[in-house]
Structure 1
Amino acid sequence: MVRIFRHYVSPVKLTIALVDFGVVLASVFLAELIRYEMIGLQSFLESQSLIANLLVPCVVIPILLGVGGYEAEAISDMRVFFLRLMVGLLGSGLALSAFLYMLPMLPLWRSILLMTILLGGLLVFVTHWLFLKFTDRNFLSRRVVVLGAGASALELMQLSGRAADAGLTIVATIALPEDTVVVKDSVPIEEIGNLEQFIHMYQAELVIIAGDITKSLPVEALIACKLAGVEVQDRLAFFEQVRGYVDLASVKAEWIIFSDGFKGGSGWERALKRVSDIVVSLSALILFMPIILLAALAVKVTSKGPIFYRQERVGLNGACFNLLKFRSMKVDAEKDGVPEFAQKADPRVTPVGSFLRRTRIDELPQVMSVLKGDMSFVGPRPERPFFVSQLEKEIPFFKERHCLKPGITGWAQIQYPYGASFEDSKRKLEYDLYYIKNYSIFLDLLIILQTIRVILFPVGVR
């Protein structure tokens, strides 16, 4: 995995995105050349022209990322990619038109922009099809030997095998003496003789220790591999880097204390985050004001009760605040006074409320909490005090998620469906801990972009 500003990025995704950037940029120059040739003008390059041309891929690629064009399902299925490419190109065309309207000095004609979108979209689609059709999926992958053959090793292999963007090729598994072997074709460590030589025979670049570190672990051999340039990782590092979450089953307090992370960002990052919160929230409030007014009218007309719903949530350092949302349930949804998780096809949700939840419009009033400073635009989702008191007893390290301001959207929200149980809360905490450990403005920007995908292609909404 490639680490960019503390966030781990798949080398497959990064390579495809860089190729797409080059393809779109080439499409701009080609469209410009064709258009000038059509009207008999000579193509010329100047600073403003170069800036205008560079603007196109700088808008198209982030939007394509935002609509999920580089997710595993889009990389492995051309039908999914085609749909997301069409949505991305439409959004890119609108965004670029707005930029050019606000910056008329940039010499990028509308005819050239239209030709670029059509030509660039075609070339990007062909590039992805060629990648899927002819490229060896392992050409950017690291060769991996798994030390362990139990249930943990099997889970690790299944996860790496399902992800087209994992960037790992498991070439061998080694059964330790204390393993309950469930991975077929594993080689017992007694039969290897020289572990270092065995690993080099498979040309492995990485050794992953699956399961608990026990007395049977060949420490001397692993030290020799490490000194020979072969990276050694444990299960916890694998899940963090490849799957983007912290495996709670492997976390210990010592790891949090001594790990490289959990710093909450530097002073300038925190200041920049607050400024970006205000800018993004004000922009969202202005941009979505017509939708907010229509949603308020729809809630008022279709069901009895108030338009907005105030609910106490736990925020930074455990302090409580009132969160504002559009009311999506009946007024007596909790008539017995006992909070409960929302369920699938929850009968308490009104028809309009179901639409608001599915499109995330019910979350829009929360920008007021961001402007007040109770929330950030990106961060762990705030929970109700009733659930927090229970979750802190049931789930280790749950209260650590309150070291940052809660957010409207977050890493857990774009990676995992709606949480409606203690088990879901546990899984979402694993993503929250990843975000807290590896926080950066870069990761915030990625989350904001990928929130577009969650809105356009909702999963697990309740």
Structure 2
Amino acid sequence: MIRIFRHYISRAYLSLLLIEFVVFFSAMYLGITAPVLTAASWYSDYGIIVSSTVFGCVVTLSCAAMGLYRRSLSLQDYNLLARTCVSFVLAVIILALIYYFIPEFLIGRSVLAVAIFFALVGIFITRELFYKFANLEKFKKRVLVIGSGTKANKLSGINNSFIHKSFKIVGFVSFPGEQVAVDDLLVNYYENNDIRAVAEALKADELVVALDDNRRFMPLNGLLDCKMSGLKVIDMVSFYEREQGIISLENTYPGWLIFSDGFAQGGLRAWEKRLFDLFASSLLLVVTWPVMLLATLAIFLESGVNGTIFYRQVRVGEDGRNFEVLKFRSMRNDAEKNGVQWAQAKDSRVTAVGGVIRKFRIDELPQIFNVFSGQMSFVGPRPERPEFVNGFEERIPYYRERHRVKPGITGWAQLCYPYGASEDDTIQKLQYDLYYVKNYSLFLDISIMFNTVEVVLWGKGAR
């Protein structure tokens, strides 16, 4: 992992992105210069380079938008063939728009077809080699866990859902009186303050402190010896932050939040974020106004003159201030005659049109106007209803901290976690929201915005 503007990026996937850009660039270059087409005579050397660069950038960004360079993409969600096909269809649409508005970049259809063929072959070969070599043991970080209890055991499974596993736990150090909850074959019992000797014997690259009770015993001298010897020592909260993109509520404590980096707000960041919000929302409005018009017409035809097109609902915004969020109405007018309740899978209150616009997040589009008014941001934690928030703040630690920033149309939690309709889901999503609040940057906002295309096209998390 490397950190770019405080956001953790997989070094392996970043390398894959750069390699595949070269593959796509080469695909267009070969498409133009392929002898069977004799197209090269129509292009200058400069034109070939420009066309190849445009093609490489567009296809790479389309693949990124479909989550193909996101390490948090789980085995359950991963479908290389489907995602690649959607990425290339999206790329062709974008290229058509570029060729229409900038005719100087226009290339022949036969050249484009050959380039796409080469690119498809190239991406499947590249992916096959990537997953074959990237998961080799010698390329994984070797982690020694300090502790052998419940918390240490949970670390064993956080890699399981990922396609590319960036680390391998090579052992656990168990201390006197500690209940062992991990694989006995990996346990090394603590004797004579020998943590460094264990780490060197196992060729560990990093030590993660995962003791169930830090107050009862903390091997400070042994850890200091390892640190001064060049080994990296990291606490569990930072480990989860790096590997899973969350702030682990189970392991977080006030002192860590106070002294950790991040959580910077105001000043230049506020102006930077506001400008980004206006730009991104304006761009979204320009692209989606026909869709919004069709949604308005469909809702009207389904509900008639007695039905409302838009739905206003009170939500909790920045610093706990309430505001009215604007959405296309996707439920019956009497949906809450029995009081406030979670939306459920196959909710009977959702109308036929509502089911479609929810699946593709079209019902969220009117929130663009909440962004223009300054009540919301384009990217941020999703705003929740005050009826739920009051209880969450009492029962869930640090829940109010998600309101340190403006809520957003899309967010890190929406990208990484499916739709939640329970308090447990709220806790899981809060961990992603806190990661966003802590590590906000323009780079992270742009990354989330790109990957939101995947959420929309895949209907991910809709309910």
Q: Could you tell me the TM-score, scaled by structure 2's length?
A: 0.92
Alignment of 1:425-436 (within 5 A): 425-436=426-437
Q: Give the aligned partner of residue 186 of structure 1.
A: 186
Deviation at 1:11, TM superposition (A): 2.0
Change in Cα spacing, 1:136 to 1:401, as seen in structure 2 (3 Å) is: closer
Q: Which moved more, 1:181-190 or 1:121-130?
A: 181-190
Deviation at 1:415, TM superposition (A): 0.8
What amino acid does structure 2 have at the position aligned with 1:16?
L
Q: What is the DSSP-based 3-state SS (H/G/I as helix, E as strand, rest coil) of the residue aligned with 1:8?
A: strand
Deviation string, structure 1 residues 7-26 (Cα, Å, up to 9, x no partner): 00112222221211121122
How well do the aligned residues superpose, as a CA RMSD in angstroms? 2.4
Q: Give the aligned partner of residue 162 of structure 1.
A: 161
Deviation string, structure 1 residues 192-238 (Cα, Å, up to 9, x no partner): 86221220122111111123424433211111111111111111111
Q: Give the aligned partner of residue 227 of structure 1.
A: 228
Q: What is the DSSP-based 3-state SS (H/G/I as helix, E as strand, rest coil) of the residue aligned with 1:180?
A: coil
Deviation string, structure 1 residues 283-318 (Cα, Å, up to 9, x no partner): 222221221122112222223521111001111112
What amino acid does structure 2 have at the position aligned with 1:334?
E
Q: Which moved more, 1:109-118 or 1:233-242?
A: 109-118
Aligned residues of 2:72 and 2:416 also touching (Cα < 8 A): no
Q: Give the aligned partner of residue 151 of structure 2.
A: 152
Deviation string, structure 1 residues 371-430 (Cα, Å, up to 9, x no partner): 111111100111111111111111111111111111000001111111212221111111
Using the alignment, how far apart are the partners of 2:403 and 2:86 within structure 1?
36
What amino acid does structure 2 have at the position aligned with 1:315?
G
Alignment of 1:22-421 (within 5 A): 22-34=22-34, 38-39=38-39, 41=41, 44-46=44-46, 49-71=48-70, 80-106=79-105, 108-133=107-132, 136-184=135-183, 185-190=185-190, 194-212=194-212, 213-264=214-265, 267=268, 269-303=269-303, 305-336=307-338, 338-421=339-422
Using the alignment, how far apart are the partners of 1:71 and 1:121 within structure 2?
19
Deviation string, structure 1 residues 245-277 (Cα, Å, up to 9, x no partner): 00011222222221110003760x432322222
Deviation string, structure 1 residues 154-193 (Cα, Å, up to 9, x no partner): 2111112332334111111222224221211232423586
Using the alignment, how far apart are the partners of 1:132 and 1:327 within structure 2?
44
Q: What is the DSSP-based 3-state SS (H/G/I as helix, E as strand, rest coil) of the residue aligned with 1:383?
A: coil
What amino acid does structure 2 have at the position aligned with 1:380?
P
Aligned residues of 2:10 and 2:71 also touching (Cα < 8 A): no
Change in Cα spacing, 1:139 to 1:335, as seen in structure 2 (3 Å) is: same
Change in Cα spacing, 1:78 to 1:112, as seen in structure 2 (3 Å) is: farther
Q: Give the aligned partner of residue 11 of structure 1.
A: 11
Using the alignment, how far apart are the partners of 1:428 and 1:120 within structure 2?
37
Deviation at 1:241, TM superposition (A): 0.4
Deviation at 1:39, TM superposition (A): 4.6
Aligned residues of 2:26 and 2:52 also touching (Cα < 8 A): no
Using the alignment, how far apart are the partners of 1:40 and 1:355 within structure 2?
46
Report how many aligned residue pairs link the two structures.
459
What amino acid does structure 2 have at the position aligned with 1:209?
V
Deviation string, structure 1 residues 59-101 (Cα, Å, up to 9, x no partner): 2112101112234587969981111111101111111221232
What amino acid does structure 2 have at the position aligned with 1:335?
K
Aligned residues of 2:381 and 2:407 also touching (Cα < 8 A): yes
What amino acid does structure 2 have at the position aligned with 1:217?
M
Using the alignment, how far apart are the partners of 2:392 and 2:261 within structure 1?
26
Q: Give the aligned partner of residue 441 of structure 1.
A: 442
Deviation at 1:434, TM superposition (A): 0.1
Using the alignment, how far apart are the partners of 1:158 and 1:394 within structure 2?
27
Using the alignment, how far apart are the partners of 1:71 and 1:122 within structure 2?
21
Aligned residues of 1:412 and 1:431 also touching (Cα < 8 A): yes
Q: Could you tell me the TM-score, scaled by structure 1's length?
A: 0.93
Deviation string, structure 1 residues 307-356 (Cα, Å, up to 9, x no partner): 111001111112211111111111111114x3221122222222221221
Deviation at 1:109, TM superposition (A): 4.5
Using the alignment, how far apart are the partners of 2:31 and 2:74 within structure 1?
27
Change in Cα spacing, 1:261 to 1:154, as seen in structure 2 (3 Å) is: same
Aligned residues of 2:33 and 2:39 also touching (Cα < 8 A): no
Aligned residues of 1:74 and 1:81 also touching (Cα < 8 A): no
What amino acid does structure 2 have at the position aligned with 1:203?
K
Task: Structure 2: give runs of 5+ residues left out of the alignment.
Answer: none
